[in-house]
């Protein structure tokens, strides 16, 4: 029988899944949506049960397709939104709604942490320099300890969505090093004793930390019956959606490769040989994926992305597709003079400031809804350029690999290229996080199955717009610096 792996991507709004051949062919895909609860502007939650229901529905759909096409499932791979925290009891049952990565309720705890601990302490806890924002893991845990003491006392495990699904499939409590980042030391996989004392815990709430490529366990008999998947199917530990998407862009296969993973929010950065961390950005060690090319990733996750377009769509009563179609019908000949700061939810990299606000500058009566759409798409691209230029460290990249659900629009991609003033390589399979999870499940972190895993289409910038793009960038940086 033909073999395929079945990766699952537990994203911000849905679970996506697919069947991938050993050569990188996507044979079929499926997805199931779930809701996001916003009780207040800074409180953003999801029901953990919805992760299981969506994942189960996708797996059952894909295994039915696999059986009809006589495809044998070699392994299940996983990737996840992060940091999204599920507070579980000793048996792995969720005790409360999951606090997702957009949640910034822990602003007071963030400030307390910054004022009462040193950078050296936090470096010792986590194994590397890490900017602390209100959306970071430790402030959220301190919030839970302070405001939900009964729940905190009953809590044994902190799982992220993919780890929660892994437990449902195998009964094992495991995670990968990068999903554990912000709680466990990235080198040892252990939670520092001093941090445990701060959290008031005697036992580490972090699951056992394994390599992303390791086997978390095998599908149990109970899960096999419920999920319609063969018992003892191998389940891979997997990794977070940002790192999984970066893997599928080829950034870990090419020195000085830029990348943008475009979704509800984004991950933007550059691969380098070993170098110092840039303030405001993350740096992944070269061994994070057991890749032996000596490349590190210097990058930043944002709060801005397609979520900004969705916000505008609610106001205009239009879908994302309808809004990008509006641009296509009119034609986008040059950058917009309207400047949009895309900080609807504050911002992570490079500011780590949940109090930043979105704004339009240069808006006039003659502008219409199409101009607003153009400005929003352009504002997201300007945030990408801001992070990219920091990550480049004065060594501009020649190519930026682009993937993710928000990379499907040709109009938006041309706006990106013109604002970045760099060539884009738009990955053919836009579901790069899912694709990266498939690569990990097949055991191909270096793309050893061939270049078929990394195919894409090039989009060139219009160099005639370089001056306008540079002027916009100067205005963009000044406005953000004022707020920061």
Asked if pLDDT for residue 292 goes beyond 60, the answer is: no
Distance of alpha carbon 338 from its chain centroid, rounded? Answer: 28
* Confidence at residue 447, expressed as pLDDT on a 0 to 100 scale: 44
DSSP label at 175?
E
Token pair of 175 as six digits? 């995670």
Alpha helices of 203-296 — where are they, by DSSP H?
Answer: 221-227, 241-249
Give the residue from 236, 167, 402, 225 showing the smallest Cα distance to 305.
402
C-alpha distance from residue 294 to each of 272, 297, 312, 363, 407 (Å): 8, 10, 42, 47, 28
Q: What is the pTM of this model?
A: 0.89
Q: How confident is the model at residue 479 (pLDDT cuts 50, 70, 90)?
A: low
What pLDDT was estimated at residue 289? 62
* Token pair belonging to 358: 């979105």
| Segment among 68-77, 78-87, 248-257, 314-323 with least mean pLDDT | 248-257
pLDDT of 288: 63
Give pLDDT tens digits for 223-252: 999 999 999 999 999 999 988 999 899 888
Q: Where are the beta strands (DSSP E) in 63-114?
A: 71-80, 86-88, 98-99
Tokens at residue 423, please?
A: 């060539």
> And the tokens for 60?
């059952």
Q: Residue 292 burial by CB count (10 A; 0-12/13-18/19+): exposed, middle or buried?
A: exposed
- Preceding peptide of 234 cis, ω within 30°: no
| Cα 397 from Cα 421, distance rounded (Å) | 10
Specify whether the backbone of 21 is left (phi greater than 0), alpha (psi in -120 to 50) or beta.
beta
- pLDDT, residue 449, reads 44
Quick one: fold of 2-237? Answer: Nucleotidyltransferase; domain 5 (3.30.420)
The CA–CA distances, whole Å, from 255 to 289, 395, 454, 458 equal 16, 11, 15, 18
Structural domain boundaries in the chain: 2-237, 254-483
Tens digit of pLDDT for each residue in 402-446?
A: 999 999 999 999 999 999 999 999 999 989 999 999 999 998 654
pLDDT value at position 275? 81
The torsion angle over the Cα atoms of residues 117, 118, 120 and 123, rounded to 10 degrees, is 50
User: Six-digit token pair at 204?
Assistant: 């580490």
- What is the total residue count of the chain? 484
Q: What is the pLDDT of residue 277?
A: 86
Which run of H or E residues covers position 112?
A: helix 107-116
Q: What is the mean pLDDT of residues 45-70?
A: 97
User: Residue 291 forms beta bridges with which residues?
Assistant: none
- At 329, the pLDDT band (50, 70, 90 cuts) reads confident
Residue 368 has pLDDT above 50, yes or no: yes
Backbone angles phi, psi at 282, to 5 degrees: -95, 155
**Which helix (DSSP H) or strand (DSSP E) does residue 418 occupy?**
helix 410-420
Mutual angle of helices 369-392 and 410-420, in 10-degree steps: 50
**pLDDT tier at 448 (50, 70, 90 boundaries)?**
very low
Is residue 443 a contact partner of residue 215, using CB atoms and an 8 Å limit?
A: no
Q: Does the pLDDT value for residue 9 go beyond 50?
A: yes
pLDDT at 294: 72
Looking at residue 129, its pLDDT comes to 83
The CATH code of domain 254-483 reads 3.30.420.40
Q: How far apart are CA 172 and CA 219, in angstroms?
A: 10
Would you place residue 74 in the very low, low, confident or very high pLDDT band (cuts 50, 70, 90)? very high
Each residue of 161-203: pLDDT tens digit? 999 999 999 999 999 988 999 999 988 999 999 999 999 999 9
143 has pLDDT over 60: yes
Domains 2-237 and 254-483 share a fold: yes
Instruction: Give the whole-angstrom CA distance, residue 192 versus residue 197.
Output: 9
Amino acid 130: pLDDT: 84
What pLDDT sits at residue 412? 95
Contacts of 314 (CB under 8 A, 6+ apart): none
Local structure of residue 178 (DSSP, 8 states): T
Question: How high does pLDDT run on average in the chain?
Answer: 93
| pLDDT bucket at 155, cuts 50 / 70 / 90 | very high
Question: b/e string for 168-196 if b means 16 or more Cβ within 10 A?
Answer: bbbbbbbbbbbbbbbbbbbeebebbeebb
**Other residues' Cβ atoms within 10 Å of the Cβ of residue 356:** 21
> To the nearest 10°, the Cα dihedral for 57, 63, 65, 67?
-150
CA angle (182 as vertex; 181, 183 as ends), nearest 5:
95
User: How confident is the model over 194-221, as a mean pLDDT?
Assistant: 96
Q: How far is CA 377 from the centre of its chain?
A: 19
Q: Which two tokens stand for residue 88?
A: 């579980």
- Contact assessment for residue 387 and residue 299, using Cβ atoms and an 8 Å cutoff: yes
Rg of the Cα atoms in the chain: 22
Q: Percentage of residues in the chain with pLDDT exceeding 70?
A: 96
* H or E, element range at 391: helix 369-392
């Amino acid at each position: 029988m033909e073999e395929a792996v079945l990766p699952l991507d537990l994203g911000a709004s849905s679970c996506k899944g697919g069947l991938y051949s050993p050569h990188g062919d996507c044979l079929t895909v499926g997805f199931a949506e779930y809701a996001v609860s916003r009780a207040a502007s800074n409180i953003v939650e999801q029901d953990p049960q919805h992760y299981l229901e969506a994942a189960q529905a996708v797996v059952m759909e894909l295994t039915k397709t696999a059986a009809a096409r006589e495809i044998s499932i070699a392994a299940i791979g996983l990737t996840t939104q992060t940091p999204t925290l599920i507070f579980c009891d000793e048996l792995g049952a969720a005790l409360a709604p999951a606090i997702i990565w957009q949640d910034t309720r822990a602003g007071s705890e963030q400030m307390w942490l910054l004022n009462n601990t040193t950078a050296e302490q936090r470096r010792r806890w986590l194994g590397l320099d890490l900017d602390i924002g209100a959306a970071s893991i430790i402030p959220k845990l301190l919030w839970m300890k302070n405001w939900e003491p009964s729940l905190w006392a009953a809590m044994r495990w902190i799982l992220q969505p993919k780890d929660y699904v892994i437990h449902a499939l195998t009964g094992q409590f495991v995670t990968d090093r990068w999903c554990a980042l912000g709680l466990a030391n990235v080198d040892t996989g252990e939670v520092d004793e001093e941090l445990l004392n701060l959290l008031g815990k005697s036992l580490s709430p972090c699951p056992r930390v394994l390599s992303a490529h390791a086997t978390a366990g095998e599908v149990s008999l109970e899960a096999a019956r419920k999920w319609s998947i063969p018992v003892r199917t191998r389940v891979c530990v997997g990794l977070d959606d940002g790192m999984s998407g970066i893997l599928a862009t080829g950034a870990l296969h090419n020195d000085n490769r830029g990348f943008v993973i475009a979704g509800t929010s984004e991950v933007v950065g550059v691969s380098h040989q070993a170098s110092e961390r840039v303030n405001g950005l993350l740096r992944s060690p070269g061994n994070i994926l057991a890749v032996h090319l000596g490349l590190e990733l210097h990058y930043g996750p944002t709060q801005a992305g397609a979520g900004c377009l969705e916000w505008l769509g609610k106001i205009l009563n239009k879908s994302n597709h309808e809004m990008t179609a509006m641009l296509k019908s009119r034609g986008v000949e040059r950058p917009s003079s309207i400047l949009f700061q895309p900080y609807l939810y504050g911002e992570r990299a490079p500011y780590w400031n949940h109090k930043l606000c979105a704004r339009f500058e240069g808006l006039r009566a003659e502008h219409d809804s199409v101009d607003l759409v153009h400005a929003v798409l352009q504002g997201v691209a300007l945030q990408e350029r801001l992070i990219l230029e920091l990550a480049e460290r004065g060594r501009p990249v020649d190519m930026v690999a682009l993937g993710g659900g928000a990379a499907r629009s040709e109009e938006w991609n041309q706006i990106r290229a013109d604002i970045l003033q760099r060539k884009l390589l738009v990955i053919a399979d836009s579901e790069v996080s899912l694709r990266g999870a498939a690569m990990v499940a097949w055991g191909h972190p270096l793309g050893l199955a061939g270049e078929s895993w990394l195919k894409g289409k090039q989009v060139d910038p219009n160099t005639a717009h370089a001056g306008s793009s540079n002027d916009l960038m100067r205005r963009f940086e000044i406005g953000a610096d004022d707020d920061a």
